[in-house]
Structure 1
Amino acid sequence: MTDEITRVAAIGDLHVQEDGSASYREIFAEMSQAADVIVITGDLTDLGKPAEARLLVEELRGSRVPVVAVLGNHDHQCNCVEEVSSIIREAGVYLLDGTAVELKGVTFAGVKGFVGGFGRHMLASFGEAAIKSMVAESLNETIKLENALRQIRTPRSLAVLHYSPTADTVMGEPEQIWPFLGSARLGETIDRYKVSAVVHGHAHHGTHEGRTVGGIPVYNVARHIEKPQGKPYIILEL
């Protein structure tokens, strides 16, 4: 490996449960042997419980490399986001939320993202207050993503999301729920900053690989997705 290549192991949608029914310790150890940085694309916990977050960080003791993550929708379920985030950050994880971090010569810019849809089916701010609130939240997450991308100072960068920025990687899911799996607004913002690649999760039955409208590679790394390397995670060389 040269100094010009950084290997990133990316996985999403762990859904760690309070009963500890699934262990990721060995997977994290394997990922840390194969890569320079581990990235987790949200849904770290199943119900957003602090106890689940504590189990996750205990499992991460099997990693010997830096870990970058964003939260997902499941991590918000119990309204304990601040406590869950604190537990994860105190374990040394770089938990991104409209922020960026430079590791091993690569800038990781991350945000959860939100719903909204793609193309001409994208949800517009019209009608009931509830719909307008949804669109406002989608725009807020897009602004946070832009704030993170503005911090990029390296030639190599990775956008880390939970929701998808392109319809390409939600294909395989029922088309009726695509608007709830991501937003083209995220992709439009990413295209303005020309990142090296994007990783996300959330769409468990989606497609592994796609592109933004501007041609930037996008990888759905939800652990449920079949991947070319035959692992629940992928290895990206940046």
Structure 2
Amino acid sequence: MSKTKVAAVADLHVKEDGSVSYTELFSEISRVADVLVIAGDLTDLGKPAEAELLAAELKSCTVPVVAVLGNHDHQCNAVEEISAILMKAGVHLLNGQAVEIAGVGFAGTKGFLGGFGRYMLGSFGEPAIKTMVSETVDEAMRLENALRKTSAQHSVVVLHYAPIAETVAGEPEAIYPFLGCSRFAETIDRFRVSAVVHGHAHRGTFRGKTPGGAPVYNVAAHVEKPTGRPYAILEF
């Protein structure tokens, strides 16, 4: 049985001025992989014009594209418009959904912040804190629902925020709580997950694993990877 190769990258931050083009990168990925995953921050400021530019550049990508949004994609409160543009371009944009491609199931959502391990933020105190924790719990539930929808032999979780502290190592410890949350690792470890990809921590570490042993990869374009390229290649 042939392997399915998944190219995974995050934090493209496509700008409205078109100062950086990914056309050649997408063409390259199409030659070496069967699926492209983009783990959030597709745009720089969440502007529809930025999404239009990305959609145009994705025409050079001839393999299926799976993505989740990131925090930057929410900046201008145009999530619905951005999502419509990307889905019209053929992107499988996940927000608590799952899709199976080439025998691999992809379950995704943006994720959210909250901290890791015993430093994870609890729902206590001011309403603003409780609202923040509630958002993280809601995102974890979206991920759980997505994982329940895939029965593929191999499943890949796609997040923007990190589910473990190990792959944000390299960032200042003071901002760890804003880079992800252990609640997602808890959800992941209730399922059989082949790999987890995320971004957001530009100065983080490429590889780690959940407490249950699921491999986690920080695929932010800025993070050094074994390929020597902005994307990682995962084989299933």
Shared topology, TM-score over 0.5?
Answer: yes
Q: Hey, what does 1:45 align to over in structure 2?
A: 43
Residue of structure 2 aligned with 1:136, choices 130, 134, 148: 134
TM-score by length of 1: 0.98
The correspondence for 1:78, drawn from 67, 76, 79, is 76
Equivalent position to 2:172, from 171, 174, 183? 174
Partner of 1:7: 5
Measure, in 2, the Cα distance between the counterparts of 1:165 and 1:138.
11
Q: By how many angstroms is 1:19 displaced? A: 0.1
Q: In 2, Cα distance between the equivalents of 1:64 and 1:152?
A: 24
Question: How many Å separate the matches in 1 of 2:227 and 2:62?
Answer: 22
Instruction: For residues 15-52 of structure 1, give each alpha carbon's deviation from its aligned partner in whole angstroms, at most 9, with x where no partner exists.
Output: 00000000000001101110000000000000000000
Structure 1 residue runs of 4 or more that deviate by more than 6 Å after TM superposition:
none
1:145 matched to 2:143? The reply is: yes
Unaligned residue ranges in structure 1 (runs of 5+): none
Q: CA deviation at 1:194?
A: 1.8
Residue of 27, 30, 41 corresponding to 2:28 = 30
**Cα distance, 1:230 vs structure 2:** 0.4
**Alpha-carbon distance in structure 1 between the residues aligned to 2:208 and 2:29:** 23
Unaligned ranges ≥5, structure 2: none
For 1:18 and 1:229, how far apart are their aligned partners in 2?
A: 29
Q: Distance in 2 between matches of 1:34 and 1:189?
A: 31
Any idea what the Cα deviations from partners look like across 1:77-132, whole Å, max 9, x if unmatched? 00000000000001100000000000000000000000011001000001111100
| Identity percentage of aligned residues | 66
Question: What does 1:141-220 align with in structure 2 at a 5 Å threshold?
Answer: 141-220=139-218
Aligned length: 236
The counterpart of 2:220, out of the listed 222, 229, 234, is: 222
What is the RMSD of the two structures over their aligned residues, measured on CA atoms? 0.6
C-alpha separation in 2, matches of 1:143 and 1:157: 17
